[in-house]
Amino acid sequence: MKILIVDDEKNFVYFVKENLAHRGYPVDVAYDGKEALELIQSKSYDLVFLDINMPELTGLELAKYVKENKIKSKVIIVTGYEEIKESLAKVLGADEYLTKPVAIADIEKIIKKYGG
C-alpha cells in the first residue's frame, strides 16, 4: 500500500513517518502542496493524508485536484479545524477526515479500512 503524508509541520511528519514505519507501513512525505502535487502526479498513492493550511497549495485545493482529475487516491484531511468535519472536507471531495491531535492508532484504523 502506497501512502503519502503531507503537512508543513516537519516534526509532525517525522514522528508519523517513524511511527507508521514501526507498524510496518513505509510512507512518503511532503512538506508543502506543490511538492505533494508532483508526488501525486508521478506516483499513484492509495492514501494521501493532507493538512489544510500549507504554503503554495492548500490541502483543500489538492483534494479538489485529486477528485477532478479522477486520480484513484483516497484523500484524508487531517486538520485542527473542527468545522471541516461536517462540511468542507466532504464537499471538496475528501474521503475521510481526522481531527488533530491524531493518535497513530487513528491513522492505522484508516489504513486498515482501505485494505492496508
Partner 1 sequence: MKKMQISNIVIPLRLFLFLLVSIFMAEFLIMLFLDYVRIPSKLANSLLDSTLLVVILYPILYKFVFRNMMITLKGRKYLNERLSKINEELEAKIRVRTSNLVSTNQELQEAILGCRQTETNLEKAYLQLKETQNQLIQSEKLSAIGQLASGVAHEVRNPLSIILQGVEYLEIKIPPKETPAREALSMIKDSVKRADKIISLLFDFSKAARLNLMPEDINSILESSINLVETKVKFMNIDIVKETKKDIPKTMIDKNRMEQVFINLLLNAIQAMPEGGKVIIRTYEKRLEAPANRVGERKEDYFKVGEKAVIVEIEDTGTGIPEENLNKIFDPFFTTKGIGGGTGLGLSVSQSIIIMHKGLIDVTSQLGKGTRITVTLHAIE
Query: Which residues would be at the binding site for partner 1 (CB under 8 A)?
Result: 9, 11-12, 15-16, 18-19, 22, 53, 79-83, 99-104
Of the two residues 2 and 17, which places its CB atom closer to partner 1 in the complex?
17
- CB of 101 vs partner 1, minimal distance in Å: 4
Of the two residues 43 and 100, which places its CB atom closer to partner 1 in the complex?
100
d(CA 94, CA 89): 5
Of the two residues 44 and 53, which places its CB atom closer to partner 1 in the complex?
53
Contact of 33 with 58, CB cutoff 8 Å = yes
- Tell me the Cα Rg of the chain: 13
- CB of 9 vs partner 1, minimal distance in Å: 5
- CB of 46 vs partner 1, minimal distance in Å: 21
Give 33's contacts (C-beta < 8 A, 6+ positions apart).
6, 54, 55, 56, 57, 58, 59, 61, 62
